Amino acid sequence: MEKLTAVRLAAVAALSNAGVPSPGVDADLLLCHVLGISRSELKLRELRGDGFQGDQREQFTALVAARRTRIPLQHLTGVAHFRYLELKVGPGVFTPRPETESVVQLGLDFVAEQGIDGPKCIDLCSGSGAIAASLASELPGSTVWAVELSDEAVGYTRANCLPHQVTVLHQDATNLPAELDGTMDLVVSNPPYIPPHAIPREAEVRDHDPQMALYGLGEDGLQIPRAISAQAMKLLRPGGYYVMEHAEVQKDSAAAMLREAGFERVAGHEDLTGRARATSGYAPHREPVPPTTNRA
């Protein structure tokens, strides 16, 4: 019987030779997926010199071969981990990235600093629902909406959001019902923002993430983000907070875009790797419109 350790080491070498960025982690996660165990249990079984049962060896071999072709790990396991959640993902939906976790944290910090009881939040261009589900699960008493246009992605949005009582809207995030205007404390978005000429280098992104979730249109990739930012301004109540993820090279243009949309106290934010990752702003406190009087 082949032992787990020997098979794992061979898989790590095969994945590394194929250019997979994290061969050791991927091999472990694929093994855990096949065996139905945690990584800590995997290490224990390796120490005991355990092997495979039934067709587990063949399943693992097939998954490693697929991963060597750069099919995303999350598509093979069907799950992605984001903050404290395990999300359902697969072909047709953008795989959530660790850097977006810091974007969620900015929204959580705003709610905490403001001491908002029962905050109303909305996630525009929700995709897998990672942002919306995280907000709902980490903000007790909150009311959260998730908006996703893609017919392929919205099934994942619902699967990940509905267990957290998030309201999912299957529609264009730049054209939402007027009754939502002026009601939100927090708007967060990770919209498509890649410029048309900036083809992603990573095969997992370039070949497997849906293009609808990647490219923001326009020469600078900010055509969709501009429309999303305008919608965010409509949605927010006075003093509400907007956070938008973008590419590192879009730091200055994103800040200018938010100012042009009318946001105040615009600020840039870095992710945990020190890269410019998001820009935020506050909706202005609008002056009340004086009542009209009829003169005789």
Q: Is the CA virtual torsion 239, 244, 248, 250 positive or negative?
A: negative
Please check whether residues 60 and 197 belong to one and the same domain.
no
- Phi and psi at residue 120, in whole multiples of 5°? -105, 120
Please check whether residues 40 and 170 belong to one and the same domain.
no
Measured CA to CA, the distance from residue 279 to residue 269 in angstroms comes to 6
Q: Do 243 and 220 touch, CB atoms closer than 8 A?
A: no
Residue 293 lies in a domain: no
241 has binding-site annotation: no
Closest CA to 9 of 24, 29, 25, 31: 24
Please check whether residues 164 and 250 belong to one and the same domain.
yes
Q: Is a pLDDT exceeding 60 seen at residue 39?
A: yes
**What is the per-residue pLDDT for 54?**
83
Q: What's the chain's average pLDDT?
A: 87
Beta-strand relationship, 236-245 and 184-189: parallel
**The last residue of a domain, from among 41, 69, 97:** 69
Beta-strand relationship, 236-245 and 276-282: antiparallel
Please check whether residues 210 and 172 belong to one and the same domain.
yes
Residue 291 lies in a domain: no
**The last residue of a domain, from among 22, 43, 69:** 69
pLDDT confidence bin for 202, thresholds 50/70/90: low
Residue 106's domain comprises 82-282
Residue 123 lies in a domain: yes
Q: What is the DSSP letter of 290?
A: P
Q: Is a pLDDT exceeding 50 seen at residue 214?
A: no
**What is the per-residue pLDDT for 220?**
62
Q: What is the DSSP letter of 93?
A: S
Measured CA to CA, the distance from residue 222 to residue 192 in angstroms comes to 8
Please check whether residues 53 and 89 belong to one and the same domain.
no
**What is the per-residue pLDDT for 195?**
62
Please check whether residues 235 and 168 belong to one and the same domain.
yes
Residue 40 lies in a domain: yes
Residue 77 lies in a domain: no
193 has binding-site annotation: yes
17 has binding-site annotation: no
Please check whether residues 115 and 27 belong to one and the same domain.
no
Selection from 54-63, 166-175, 221-230, 270-279 with the highest mean pLDDT: 166-175
The number of domains in the chain is: 2
Instruction: Tell me how crowded residue 252 is: count the other CB atoms within 10 A of its CB.
Output: 11
84 has binding-site annotation: no
Please check whether residues 138 and 230 belong to one and the same domain.
yes
- Residues 65-77 as b/e (b if ≥16 CB within 10 A, e otherwise) read eebbebbbbbbbb
**What is the per-residue pLDDT for 46?**
86
Candidate from 46-60, 107-121, 194-208 with smallest mean pLDDT: 194-208
- Residues 110-124 as b/e (b if ≥16 CB within 10 A, e otherwise) read bbeeeebeebbbbbb
Residue 107 lies in a domain: yes
**The last residue of a domain, from among 44, 69, 94:** 69
Please check whether residues 116 and 151 belong to one and the same domain.
yes
And the tokens for 235? Answer: 């949605």
Please check whether residues 94 and 10 belong to one and the same domain.
no
Q: Is the CA virtual torsion 61, 97, 161, 104 positive or negative?
A: positive
Measured CA to CA, the distance from residue 39 to residue 22 in angstroms comes to 15
Instruction: Tell me how crowded residue 262 is: count the other CB atoms within 10 A of its CB.
Output: 13
Residue 183 lies in a domain: yes
Please check whether residues 27 and 134 belong to one and the same domain.
no
148 has binding-site annotation: yes
Start-to-end CA distance of the chain, whole Å, equals 99
In tens, the pLDDT along 126-156 reads 999 999 999 999 999 999 999 999 898 999 9
Residue 296 lies in a domain: no
Please check whether residues 59 and 177 belong to one and the same domain.
no
Measured CA to CA, the distance from residue 206 to residue 115 in angstroms comes to 41
User: Which own/partner contact pairs does 162-166 have at CB distance under 8 Å and 24+ positions apart?
Assistant: 163/133, 164/132, 164/133, 164/136, 164/137, 165/136, 166/129, 166/132, 166/133, 166/136
In tens, the pLDDT along 154-193 reads 999 999 999 999 999 999 999 999 999 999 999 999 987 6
CATH of the domain at 278: 3.40.50.150
